[in-house]
Amino acid sequence: MHNTVFSLKEVHFSYLGKFPALVAVDIDIKPGEKISIIGANGSGKSTLLHLLDGLIFADRGILSFCGKELNEKNFNDVEFSRNFRRKVGFVFQNPDVQLFCPTVKEDIVFGPLQLGLAKEQMHRRLEKLVTILGIQDLLNRSPNQLSIGEKRKAALASTLIIEPEILILDEPTAGLDPQTSRHIIDLLIEENISGKTIITSTHDLHIVEEISDLVYVFSSDKKIVKYGEPEGILNDTALLKANNLVHIHSHRHKDKVHVHPHVHLDHHEGEH
Amino acid sequence: MKKNARKRDFIERSLIGILSFLKGSLFAEEHALKSGFMQSLDPRIKILTFAIFIIATLLAKSILLVLSLYLLCLFLACISKINLGFFLKRTWVFIPLFSLFIALPALFSNFTPGEELFSFKFAGLALVITRPGGLTVLLFVLRVATTVSFAVLLSITTRNFELLRVLRIFRIPQAFVMVLGICYRYIYLFIGVIENTYFAIKSRVGTAMRYKRGQQIVGWNIAFLWVRSYQLNEDVYKAMLSRGYSGEPQVLNNFRSGLRDWLWLIFVGVIGICIIRFFH
């Protein structure tokens, strides 16, 4: 395998050519790494993930996958495109976007069918996944009838069934209850232990440490302001505050008013 | 003021009524999920046999024969665990009654001459109901009721996505069937958006709103819905690309037919042939 899966050099992207969404982004992602992208709303996290999945292309700079540039020309090559889609899986932020078929089962097998996976293999993977995610009862239901947690699990299954080497996830725990959130995090950790590269964008700082070897912080001017190991990033309160990732929290304990930054990191256990 | 409030109430009731009708008729699958006879059949064979029933009903010229087919339909509804009261209400309320009004003139001697059955005066006019007229109207209404009943029985005992997938056996292009499926999926989502937008407006503006202002808000919402659907369209396409879609959709085809399906097909086929051959 190539020693970097994704390499971004001075990558710029703007919408309609005039609204910058990413400015001079440099990132190298190695196989098997866990990468987190954190930043406030509108800082360019989702745009970066769409670029990594070859859904949009950089205006300037070079973005390559295993040494080959990701551009429209290369995606016109059926072999390259199919190979890329087999290796890279993307879980969208809004599961309603990803679940477009009339039933959950059809949604889950959509990817393998397009990628020409053998039927037997597809059914084997489907059985394994529904057991792991506990979604057996959802298979013949319409996505309309599911809760947000069930939709996220179904969307995750529809990507995991491809068994991609690189898994890209856009806010995978947004809006989920703690138990479902934990289930998904555990699953991602297991996928990483089995050798998969995991790239996640999130605001949810309390999951960052578990799902990252490296954390990239995006600022509101769509640039990377800092990157490093999760511990260093999460302890840099000034950086998190400057980038709208923490807020000042004031509350009362009996007759004492208590003010401190609220990091959503450990829900201030031990501070009380 | 009261009149305006009633008008708004009318609009509100209509909107909520339309949305709940759409949800109930398009998306409720409570009968299709029951474990009855019709629900257990392969949807392809079920559609084929219902097409035979409908054609046979249209070709049958004897009232007794159409009545037998109608009774068979009711029997099928019963063994499919469909509540008969609900089924009769669903099938008789609109189309057959409407067809009765259309066919009503045929009762009278002016349109269908023949043996007099009954005569009366209405607004100074002497009206005569004839025997052939009565039989024609009876056959017509019974035929409409029977075909509507078969169509309703098919639609309530089959899940909507299965009906869509069966379109493929009629050689309708895969992409077209898939687009229909996607439409079906997202209509529900947009019904939710319309409902929530309506409640959001109501929670902020209350009940007092001028007519012009109301028009403006409706206009904005149509535009908002259009923008939302456009964004969704782009995102769904990206989600398809991301999982390997390249313009030629491949979809799951897991229909299975067993002995019971084939026996049913043979039974219905024999009935169809008999009706066409002996009674047409």
Residue A267 in any domain: the answer is no
- Distances A87 to A54, A116, A153, A212, B71 between C-alpha atoms, Å: 12, 14, 20, 20, 58
A238 falls within a domain: yes
CB B255 within 8 A of CB B36: no
Query: Residue A198 and residue A52: Cα distance in Å, rounded?
Result: 12
Q: Which residues of A touch B27 (CB under 8 A)?
A: 142, 144
Compare B179 and B21 and report the one with higher pLDDT. B179
Mean pLDDT (whole number) for B164-175: 77
CATH number for the domain including A157?
3.40.50.300
pLDDT of residue A267: 43
Domain annotation covers residue A269 = no
pLDDT above 70 for A199: yes
Establish if A175 belongs to a structural domain. yes
Candidates A102, A105, A158; nearest CB to B243: A158
The type of residue at B95 is I
For residue B165, what is the nearest residue in chain A, using CA coordinates? A102
Query: In whole angstroms, what is the distance from residue B223 CA to residue A144 CA?
Result: 24
CA distance A121 to A115: 12
Q: Would you give the end-to-end CA distance of chain B in angstroms?
A: 63
CB contacts, 8 Å: B242 with chain A? 53, 55, 85, 89-90, 92
Percent with pLDDT over 90 in chain A: 69
B211 or A175: which leads in pLDDT: A175
Q: Give B124's pLDDT tier (boundaries 50, 70, 90).
A: confident
Give the integer Cα–Cα distance in Å for B5 and B129: 49
Is residue A271 one of the residues assigned to a domain? no
Q: In chain A, what is the straight-line distance between the N-terminal and C-terminal CA atoms, in Å? A: 49
- B275 token code pair: 């009706």
Cα of A6 to nearest chain B Cα, Å: 16
- CB B163, CB B91: distance < 8 Å: no
Model pLDDT, residue B69: 94
pLDDT tens-digit readout, A217-258: 999 999 999 999 999 999 998 998 888 887 655 556 666 666
Report the domain count for chain A. 1
Q: What is the spatial distance between Cα B191 and Cα B197, in angstroms, rounded to a whole number?
A: 10
Q: Look at residues B241, B230, B249 and name the one whose alpha carbon lies nearest to residue B177.
A: B249
Specify if A202 maps to a domain.
Answer: yes
Is A106 inside any structural domain?
yes
User: B264 is written with which tokens?
Assistant: 């049913």
pLDDT bracket for residue B115 (50, 70, 90): confident
CA–CA dist A174, A181 (Å, integer)? 8
Contact yes or no for A221/A239 (Cβ under 8 A):
no
Across the A:B interface, residue pairs with CB atoms under 8 Å apart total 82
Whether the CA torsion A179, A181, A183, A185 is positive or negative: it is negative
ipTM: 0.85
CB-CB contact of B150 with B54 (8 Å):
yes
Do the domain assignments include residue A268?
no
What is the phi-psi region of residue A44: left when phi exceeds 0, alpha when psi lies from -120 to 50, beta otherwise? Answer: left
Parent domain of A187 = 6-262
Lowest mean pLDDT among A107-111, A113-117, B47-51, B193-197: B193-197
